[in-house]
Amino acid sequence: MLKTLISFILLLASYSLCAQSTISGKVTDTSKQPMSFSNIVLYDNATETPLQAVIVEENGTYTFTNVKNGSYVVEASLFGYKTERSIILNIDTTKKVTFDFVLREDVPENLDEVVIVAKKPIITQNAEKLVVNLEKSEMVNSNVRDIVKKIPGVLVTGNNLSYAGQSNIRILINGKQTNYMDMQTLLREMPADNIAKIELIQQPGAEYDADGSGALINIILKKNVKLGTYGSLKSMVGYVDDFTFRKSASIASFKGKINWQAGASYSRGSWREDLQIIRRVGDDVYDQFSRSPFDPNTLRLNAGLDYYINDKHTTGISVRRTETSSNRVTDNVTNITSNGTLDMLETDNRFERDWKLYVINPYYEYDDEVNKLTLDFNYVDYKSTNENNLFQTGQSMVAYDNQRYFQDADYNIYTYQADYKRTLNDKISLHAGLKYANVDSDSDLQSLVQTNSGEFVNNPNQTNRFLIDEDIMAAYAKVNVKLDKWSFSGGLRWEQSETVGTSQNVNTSLNRTIAKFFPSLSITRNITEEIAANVAYSYRIQRPSYETLNPFVYYYDPFTFEQGNPTLRPALTNSFRFNLTYENQPFFSVSYNKTDDTLFQLISQNDATSETSRSVINLSKNENWSFSLFAPLNLVKGLDGYTGVIVNYNRFMSEELTPVLDNKKWNMTWFTSAEYKLPWGIQSEVSGYYTSGGFEGQIEFDWIAGLDIAFSKKFMNDQLKVSVELEEILDRKFNGTINYDNVNANIISDFPRRNVFLQLSYSFGKKYNKDKNRKNGAGDEVDRINTKQ
């Protein structure tokens, strides 16, 4: 835009080829710092016609050359600062004229009279993704879990996410792998105020990693694009089964060429998961109940620096560190009814877990408005230690040997990425990129069992050390074309992964190489000025998580354990989607996904030992149909938001299992989210959902529903915001059943209800909008760590 303006001004200018006069000067702020990148325009004094335009250099100087005799005015401007004009400058016999500028911040006056009107989240839909823009919305909620509920059709039950009947959702941050090692921490501990928008990527293009079979949720964080120095202090306290709190502070500055920001937060979380399994083993009934409170302490530190070398070149680095420590005690009670007699086994499962995460992300970007090149490096170092003790606590006739586990994990991930975009004109753009990732993981499980003498000895059937070395190489190309009422996007991505897994307890090695092309395309047609239709297709791969490949055995209670499966194959998904949009908002859509070798969590039972086990296997096929209808809620004055209905059909099939597995089910989901401005400047939000049931892996569950309400109000010229949230008002537990082979079980899962949160947020300093941003690359390796809390 600036280059076009300069060209236009230069075309209007007429120069005397003989003239050698110059007008120059220096531009600084009130602290005498150079104001590089300021805009300087030369006007003809008589006609106010712009003649020349230049950009202030790094040292704060500007120069107009070849100025013919005449009378002129020079103007200096920079967003966030008051525009300044020079006195009348005359060029006659004088060949060199100098004028300096001092720019002052443009501070709005009468702030106490400014009325801030909250704006609703802007929801848009295109062929590839649905976008919920939160940049200008009043954020009432306090964490990511509540913000995800704003995505039409996404359900949050406990700490599980699902969309259109599928629970295999991956979360990205700025297009990259998440920096949190578990869904629970990510959803509950990441502040919502840092989020600019959320993308629900239903049909990922070639620029995204091909990994995954369900939708992607890409959380776009706010970038420091404000001039000046400013910051915020936040404090949250709540009650979720126990008291929880989070305190955080952040500061950012953007002056001249330096843009830096830093933040820190400390939180004590609170959560609880109750699980009851009632199952039949022959003629006996096992009633297992586990109550598992979870109170992690988490420290987060982050810092970032961007250096704008000039208007085309930018470089920078960001660093993040996260530490979590938790002591978790799960109470297990198993009542066994056999031949009319009742026996009880009581145990405690104690977890002492600490993990640390370091992320370093330097980058370089070149952007001249036609060509854009981004070079990106991402290093992740994740370490965790976990001691798990499963002890009998009560008297019982059931024989049980106490167990102890030590599980250490170490992951090192190196990712190198290059992305290039060329804009040929306003109708055609080309994209290409390369990526290489190396993952080294080391999972060391030591299993001990207590003998009659009280000594803990090694259990060779469970102790295992599993090493994975994986290399992933990828390249992609994509083209976007707009022609009249048509838009086309087509891309092709190639990925090759080489995985070597070594299990030391059984001295086996797994070697797997996968090389495939992954096409994606979309076509959009504007039917009227308001209505558009688009179709999209993508082909994707879901690689097993590193943990599920590890063949270790992990007990949750004396009769329930999980076992890894090193023979897992990646799942491959063909995905199709049709959308109708109204004014770029979602209106109606139909999607169909077909996945071969789908990754499926199978629960099986050993009647001889009365144990149940959970393990991920490959099913032959999964089919999913989804029909959705979306409508805005603006019929009532002052009410903003949306409502909608999704109808799903899910089918899981496998002829390789005995007996043959064929689970299929239709279900309906209603969802809504609304905002309303109450008297006295109070902003309110309501979100709710109802689903008639569905599948979660092998479990077929009954209807569930949820309802949240939140309020917020600003004080002190909008610098202080007070928010109150009431979460999970409805008391509806998760009720499911399993009826397959010899497994006949009822499952009841519960989590804390009627939770309350109070958050105070205070902003300080001055800030003004500035358009400087960069697009982060995509990645998925950390998501596959999938560690537990």
Residue 141 has pLDDT above 60, yes or no: no
pLDDT, average across residues 384-406: 85
Average pLDDT over residues 602-626: 90
- pLDDT score of 631: 86
d(CA 203, CA 130): 10
Mean pLDDT comparison of 54-63, 500-509, 744-753, highest-scoring range:
744-753
Strands 70-77 and 21-29: unpaired
Q: In this predicted model, what pLDDT tens digit does every residue of 328-382 receive, in sequence order?
A: 888 899 999 988 888 888 888 888 888 898 989 999 999 887 899 999 999 999 9
Nearest by Cα to 200 from 145, 110, 130, 109: 130
Q: Which residue has the higher pLDDT, 540 or 294?
A: 540
- More confident site: 21 or 521: 521
Strands 284-294 and 297-308: unpaired
Higher per-residue confidence, 25 vs 216: 25
CB atoms within 10 A of CB 779: 26
pLDDT digits (tens, 9 = 90+) for 576-596: 999 998 888 888 999 999 999
Comparing 279 with 400, the larger pLDDT belongs to: 279
Asked whether the bond before 108 is cis by omega within 30 degrees of 0, the reply is no
Out of 382-396, 627-641, 774-788, give the one with best mean pLDDT: 382-396
Q: What is the pLDDT of residue 433?
A: 96
10 pLDDT above the threshold of 60: no
* Residues in CB range of 200: below 8 A, 6 or more apart: 129, 130, 131, 132, 151, 152, 153, 154, 163, 215, 216, 217
- pLDDT-derived band at 112 (thresholds 50, 70, 90) equals very low
> pLDDT tens across 283-331, in order?
899 999 999 888 889 898 989 998 988 878 999 999 989 898 988 888 8
| Mean of pLDDT values over 471-478 | 96
Say if residue 116's pLDDT is above 70. Answer: no
Cross-sheet strand order for the sheet of 599-606: 553-557, 560-563, 611-618, 599-606
pLDDT at position 785, please?
A: 52
Whole-structure pTM value? 0.76
3 state SS for 120-157: CCEEEECCCEEEEECCCECCCCCEHHHHHCCCCCEEEE
pLDDT average, residue stretch 710-737: 88
Of the candidates 256, 216, 199, the residue with the CA atom closest to the CA atom of residue 58: 256
pLDDT number for residue 13: 40
CA 719 from centroid of its chain's CA atoms? 27
Residue 683: count of CB within 10 angstroms of its CB = 20
Q: Which pLDDT score is estimated for 17?
A: 37
Over residues 750-778, the mean pLDDT reads 67
- Model pLDDT, residue 53: 80
Catalogue all structural domains in the chain, each as residue range(s) with its CATH number.
Answer: 2-103 (2.60.40.10), 111-221 (2.170.130.10), 226-784 (2.40.170.20)
Q: Rounded mean pLDDT of 63-75?
A: 87
pLDDT (0 to 100) of residue 430:
96
Q: How far is the first Cα of the chain from the last one, in angstroms, to the nearest whole number?
A: 50
Phi, psi angles (nearest 5°) of residue 185: -65, -45
Burial bucket for residue 277 (CB in 10 Å: 0-12, 13-18, 19+): buried
Mean pLDDT, residues 711-740 taken together: 89
**pLDDT grade for 225, boundaries at 50, 70 and 90:** low
pLDDT digits (tens, 9 = 90+) for 188-214: 666 666 677 788 888 888 888 888 777
Is 140 a residue whose pLDDT tops 60?
no
Give the separation between CA 324 and CA 74, rounded to whole angstroms. 57
Give the span between the Cα atoms of 175 and 221, in whole angstroms: 10
Average pLDDT value over all residues in the chain: 82
Q: For residue range 508-535, what is the model confidence (pLDDT) as tens digits? A: 777 888 899 999 999 999 999 889 999 9
Segment 726-741 mean pLDDT: 89
* Percent share of the chain, pLDDT over 90: 29
pLDDT digits (tens, 9 = 90+) for 81-93: 788 999 888 887 6
Mean pLDDT of 683-687: 87
Nearest-angstrom CA–CA distance, 780 and 439: 11
Tell me the average pLDDT across 636-644.
Answer: 79
Return the biggest CA–CA distance within the chain: 116
Q: Can you say whether the dihedral through the CA atoms of 584, 585, 588, 594 is positive or negative?
A: positive
Q: Give the SS3 label for residue 33.
A: coil
Provide the pLDDT for residue 9: 39
Q: How confident is the model at residue 136 (pLDDT cuts 50, 70, 90)?
A: low
DSSP category for residue 183: H
Which pLDDT band holds residue 224 (cuts at 50, 70, 90)? low
At residue 593, the pLDDT reads 93
Reported confidence tier of residue 456, pLDDT bands at 50, 70, 90: very high
Confidence band, pLDDT 50/70/90 cuts, at residue 717: confident
- Work out the pLDDT band at 223, boundaries 50, 70, 90: low
pLDDT at res. 164: 74
Q: Would the pLDDT of 628 be above 80?
A: yes
- What pLDDT is attached to residue 623? 94
Q: Residue 16: is its pLDDT beyond 60?
A: no
Cα 592 from Cα 623, distance rounded (Å): 7
Separation CA 509–CA 17 (nearest Å):
78
